Amino acid sequence: MPATPTDRPPHGRVSAALAWGAAVAQPLLLLIGVRTGPYRSTELRLFLTAVAVCLTLPLARRNPLAALGLLLAGVFAAATTRPDAVLLYLPLLAADAVVGRIAALQPLRVLLPTALGALGVQIAAATYTTSGQDVFVSTVVALALALLTAGLLGRSVRERRGHAAELRVAATAEAVAAERLRIARELHDVVAHSIGVIAIQAGVGRRVIDTQPAEARNALATIETTSRETLAGLRRTLGALRGAAADGRPAPRDPAPGLADLERLAASTADAGVRVELRHLGNPDVSLPPEVDLAAYRIVQESLTNVVRHAAAPTCRVTVERRTDTLLVEIADDGRGTPAAAPGGGYGLVGMRERAALLGGSLTAGPRPGGGFQVTALLPLPADHPEGIPAS
């Protein structure tokens, strides 16, 4: 609910009252200023005129429409005394500046009648301070051009502010979209592989529960283990997204998976019916940046999920090669086709490409010439990464 005048703090009410009092006194002081002093006392009159104009500044910040009205009232009242025209230059410029502020703050439906009214008062004041038709016409043109310039400058400021606000909104929307994509990738990678294993093991158990109880128990044990690992991964992901526990302390976070967990991932994939051949090239003990380690693991995980779901291949090969400035990850199988061809497929490949692109790397995926499917990811290693330091 907007604050009412009575809701304002005492110092706010006092400053508002002082601003209004000073602005209301402005027309009287301006009238006195143009009539003060002996003949040709231009300096004193200009000083008093400047003081009178300064009295409207506090109100011009709070209520530019009211400040403009009081300024124009003072200008017209002073003009009726037929002073030297130079004495009204500063009040007229001040009025134009207030019109520019109104242009920066108010819509056109407020600006246009305000500017036309201000121009009308200025032209009326010019009838008292000019002599001759030519001088009057040139004065009116100068007043109109000055007012137009102030209005255009104010509109330019308003448009720049609007553009900056649109950029902030767009940046916020882009950040939200990026975060949603990150959440979608993480949840997909955490859940998809495990659900694939669980589905296959559940099918195996259902088929052999009557004829091979021991095999059915093994399938149920695999389902239990995989389910627990999936729940742990979901808790870790949700904890990272939430950022803090309800009591304000940091949410507990388990270590994120990495290439060191590939053996466990291969074992769960073998439980789903696909044997994984792991090859580590280069120095496997060289530490990797956490974001590269996680991305490489997720790419392998999603690729193995696709092999289990779509390839119908008994084996696949996973190659991880640590090079000087890049990490190569390659997953190849001798199956029957591409995951993108499966109904509802394609999100995993998109997520893998996004992960590689976010790290400045690249990912290619497609059928192999001799049959099967291959995924190859190249993830750059930062130049300042401590190569050769073994992982602790």
- pLDDT at position 8 is 55
Mean pLDDT of 204-218: 79
- Decide which of 73, 94, 129 is a domain's last residue: 129
pLDDT digits (tens, 9 = 90+) for 131-168: 878 888 888 899 999 999 999 999 999 999 888 888 88
Mean pLDDT of 189-216: 76
Q: Phi and psi at residue 279, in whole multiples of 5°?
A: -130, 125
- Decide which of 81, 114, 129 is a domain's last residue: 129
Mean pLDDT of 346-366: 84
In-domain check, residue 198: no
How far is it, in rounded angstroms, from Cα 79 to Cα 88? 8
For residue 340, give the CATH number of its domain. Answer: 3.30.565.10
Q: How confident is the model at residue 390 (pLDDT cuts 50, 70, 90)?
A: very low
* Range name among 87-101, 193-207, 228-242, 366-380 with the lowest pLDDT average: 228-242
Kindly provide the b/e burial profile for residues 259-285, where b requires at least 16 CB atoms within 10 angstroms of the residue's own CB. beebeebbebbebbebebeeeeeeeee
- Decide which of 65, 100, 129 is a domain's last residue: 129
Number of H helices, E strands in the chain: 11, 5
- pLDDT at position 190 is 67
Mean pLDDT of 198-212: 78
Residue with tokens 């508002």: 16
User: By residue range, what is the domain housing residue 294?
Assistant: 256-392
In-domain check, residue 15: yes
Q: What is the domain count for the chain?
A: 2
Pick 118 or 336 by higher pLDDT.
Answer: 118
- pLDDT at position 378 is 93
In-domain check, residue 200: no
- pLDDT at position 376 is 93
In-domain check, residue 199: no
Whether 347 has a pLDDT exceeding 80, the answer reads: no
- pLDDT at position 152 is 92
Mean pLDDT of 9-19: 75
pTM score over 0.75:
no
